[in-house]
Amino acid sequence: MVIDRAMFAQECVRQGTFFGVHPHYMLTVAQYRSGISDESADGQIGPFQLRQSQWNANRENEEFDLHFTPEQIGSAIRQCAVFGLMAHRAFDTFISIKGRNPSVKELYLQQWPDTPPKKLDENLQQALDTTAPLLEPAVKAVFEDPDSAPPPITEIGQATERPVSPAPPAGAGVAPEWYTLAMGEIGTREEGNNSGAAIARYRQLAQCGSDHDPWCAIFVNAMFALCKPPVPGTKSASSQSFRTSPDFKQLDGPALGAIVVFWRKSPRSGLGHVGFYRGETSESVYVLGGNEDDMVQIEPLTKSQLRGYWWPASVALPQVAKIIVPPGTPKHQTTKVT
């Protein structure tokens, strides 16, 4: 199957940002090793031409929540995640030895030290140049503020830099239990129209909703039900139910993990969206929630439709404070691929 180069570039931007690896480096390596194809030869598989032993050594990682099977090595999307971890580890190793950031060539040789030197510089530079046009449209598709993304690399001897991590910045406060649980669900997708086994699990936990119902409020209630002890929810599939429930108090402003509610179509429609507050820019609120592009992810929603912030009445109120999302944060955090 032919790999869609534009979509692959977007995934390199997402995973590169998450793992702290320059996305252009990831694209360059895939171009150099396979021409960004899913062909396999001599035991080397997929766009990064990974061997099964390399895949197996990196497919499981608790810190970055990677949990892949040996058979999933052929997935180009999953290879982006695993290669991101491999490059992240190689980057750290190089810094520990040299005390500085590696160049494209140095990072590549850190990962593949036995690479034949013949035409390495020429071919690696060609791959860098070939993939440069893919980077700008991918960055525009992934980043809310494209100008803050790391620029293309022009020379293989140029030092690479770590992109900004999408994790909450220092000073954001301690995440409440329901937010941490929701982070563990990132990447979970529906099947069909608001359906599937994962969504049925959320409905069972939340004790509300029916098959095919929009499930953003169901997801929020499910995360409260998973807490130990459980936090009382609204037992309603309505995104607006948190505004009127006696079990939730409205906050004067945002806090990490606060319930954030939006209206849709019109403020009187009764329609909208609900999720957990992650941070904000001048125009958007970043929301961790379900039923966002048919999955659990973090995405920015416009402040023009913001209703406000709520907190469980049974839990001590948080310190209200804005969390400014740093420049370079992707529009969508969908890192957990299942």
Buried b / exposed e along 160-181 (16+ C-beta atoms within 10 A): bebbbebebeeebeebbbbbeb
The answer on 223 and 110 residing in a single domain is no
The answer on 25 and 117 residing in a single domain is yes
Work out the angle between the directed axes of helices 5-19 and 23-34 (0-180°, nearest 10): 130
Number of domains in the chain: 2
User: CA angle 110-90-71, nearest 5°?
Assistant: 105
Residues forming a β-bridge with 330: 143
The first and second tokens of residue 216, run together, are 């953003």
* Domain contains 35: yes
- Does residue 338 surpass a pLDDT of 50? no
* Domain contains 66: yes
List the domain range (segments joined by +) for residue 224.
177-312
Last residue of a domain, one of 128, 148, 168: 148
Q: Which of 293, 304, 223, 294 lies closest to 262 in space, CA to CA?
A: 304
Contact 136, 6 (CB under 8 A): no
The answer on 203 and 94 residing in a single domain is no
Contact 283, 298 (CB under 8 A): no
The first and second tokens of residue 244, run together, are 């009127």
pLDDT given at position 328 = 60
* Domain contains 165: no
Is omega for the bond preceding 23 within 30 degrees of 0, making it cis? no
The answer on 143 and 26 residing in a single domain is yes
Tens-place pLDDT, residues 44-77: 999 999 999 999 999 998 777 788 999 999 999 9
The answer on 210 and 296 residing in a single domain is yes
Per the prediction, the chain carries an average pLDDT of 90
Domain CATH for 11:
1.10.530
For residues 14 and 149, give the distance between their C-alpha atoms in angstroms, rounded to a whole number.
Answer: 11
Which amino acid appears at position 331 of this protein? K
For residues 236 and 48, give the distance between their C-alpha atoms in angstroms, rounded to a whole number.
Answer: 46
Which amino acid appears at position 230 of this protein? P
The answer on 34 and 94 residing in a single domain is yes
Contact 248, 259 (CB under 8 A): yes
Distance of alpha carbon 111 from the chain centroid:
24
* Domain contains 326: no
Tens-place pLDDT, residues 186-224: 889 999 999 999 999 999 999 999 999 999 999 999 999
The answer on 187 and 226 residing in a single domain is yes
The answer on 59 and 20 residing in a single domain is yes
* Domain contains 334: no
Domain CATH for 282:
3.90.1720.10
pLDDT given at position 100 = 85
Residues forming a β-bridge with 299: 287
The answer on 141 and 19 residing in a single domain is yes
The answer on 144 and 17 residing in a single domain is yes
The answer on 11 and 142 residing in a single domain is yes
* Domain contains 243: yes
The answer on 218 and 308 residing in a single domain is yes
For residues 199 and 212, give the distance between their C-alpha atoms in angstroms, rounded to a whole number.
Answer: 9
